[in-house]
Amino acid sequence: MDWQATELNTSWRYAFMSLVRNSPAHQDPRLLAAAIKGWSHTMGILNQQLEKTGRYVAGRNFTLADIPVGLAVNRWFETPLDHPDFPAVQTYYERLTEREGYTTWGRNGKP
């Protein structure tokens, strides 16, 4: 969860504020491109972790770590940008969607 709070969250902040919130303070094209690149890099790290564990962030079973990471994954897919192909992240997103709580609070059409 520390990784999600310190690495993953900081990687999406500028892009999210620009593309979803349409913040006037976050419209610099160079900073936006850098933010998307950084966010994609961080999601690539998550993809590698999910390939290693096979199901969830910390292993074969759903844990507390999957709650904040799962919400961040929803934010990734709901933000309008070109998403690199991260098959393990996509499968993880679909797996989380099988959980009723995730469809209510996570994958509910809102970034």
- Domains, the chain, in order of start with CATH, read 2-105 (1.20.1050.10)
Residue 111 has pLDDT above 90, yes or no: no
The structure's pTM equals: 0.94
pLDDT at 1: 78
- In this predicted structure, the answer to whether residue 32 has a pLDDT above a threshold of 90 is yes
In the chain, how long is the greatest CA-to-CA distance?
42
